[in-house]
Amino acid sequence: MRFIIVFILIGSIYYNGFSQNDYKRINISKDITLIKLSENAYVHVSYADLPKFGRFPSNGLIFINGSDAFLFDTPVTDSLTMDLVSWIKDSMKLRIVGFVPNHWHNDCMGGLGYLQSQKIESYANQMTIDIAKTKNLPIPAHGFKDSLQLQLGDKLIRCYYLGAAHSLDNIVVWIPSEQILFAGCMVKSSNSKDLGNTSDGYLTAYPKTINKLIDRFPMAKIVIPGHGQFGGIELIKHTKELLTQ
């Protein structure tokens, strides 16, 4: 598999401070940690080594209803994804019934090949699918354009494309029952000093997309960025401030 390296500035990746340290943490391995947000939701944090930048974490989300689960973003490799999925199945006794990546970079869908080997259904922005085809990456099975509503039992999952920002194809995922917004890499952690990697970004469209995010999800209790500490709506506002610098 060809991997797309995502450059993350050191200042945006530390996991300290913030009240998230009060949340239950489960160390699956030296490279994967789960943070329990609620009875039905966990952030999965996976670590990878990047030359010149060292060890850095990437965030994803697990949403659970009964014995079924949806996965949002994978670790950067198939092997790390296998470790995460095996733990979810063997230790949590859950069946992963679907997967949604935030965008095409490997910190979102680097483990898609492994998920496909496990016959796990995948859903993505049609732009993500189109980009994956051009870059010879594993291709998500089902595409959507502006929005997608999925069901996990009696719980809703809503995926939205609000516009280009960190990448052309980046989406956000809203879990109404938990009031959790998985915003991914378009939103920066509170201690981020800049926008990080913008090599595939669209800086002209970015502010408009962030404004849409603020307007649509003022009720979000937990906002999860692609890297670094999760928080509340202040993370989106902080990202907006970074865009003015």
Residue 227 is among the residues annotated as catalytic for this protein: yes
Which residue out of 108, 197, 200, 238 is catalytically annotated? 197
Which residue out of 40, 59, 83, 103 is catalytically annotated? 103
Which residue out of 73, 83, 107, 200 is catalytically annotated? 107
Residue 93 is among the residues annotated as catalytic for this protein: no
Residue 107 is among the residues annotated as catalytic for this protein: yes
β 95-100/123-125 pair status: unpaired
Which residue out of 44, 155, 188, 238 is catalytically annotated? 188
Q: Which letter does DSSP use for residue 41 in this model?
A: E
Residue 142 is among the residues annotated as catalytic for this protein: no
Q: What does the alpha-carbon distance between residue 88 and residue 224 come to, in Å, rounded to a whole number? A: 20
Which residue out of 40, 83, 105, 159 is catalytically annotated? 105
Q: Which amino acid is at 5?
A: I
Which residue out of 83, 125, 170, 185 is catalytically annotated? 185
CA 86 to mean position of chain CA atoms: 19
Which residue out of 166, 169, 170, 200 is catalytically annotated? 166
Residues facing residue 222 across a β-bridge: 180
Question: Count of residues for the chain?
Answer: 245
Which residue out of 44, 155, 227, 238 is catalytically annotated? 227
Provide the 3-class DSSP secondary structure of residue 208. Answer: helix
For the chain, the 3-state helix, strand and coil shares in percent, each to the nearest 5, are: 25, 30, 45
Residue bearing tokens 């680097």: 110
β 41-50/147-152 pair status: unpaired
Concatenated DSSP letters for 184-201? ETTS--TT--S----TT-
Instruction: Supply φ then ψ for residue 41, to 5 degrees.
Output: -145, 140
Residue 197 is among the residues annotated as catalytic for this protein: yes
Residue 188 is among the residues annotated as catalytic for this protein: yes
List residues with catalytic annotation. 103, 105, 107, 166, 185, 188, 197, 227
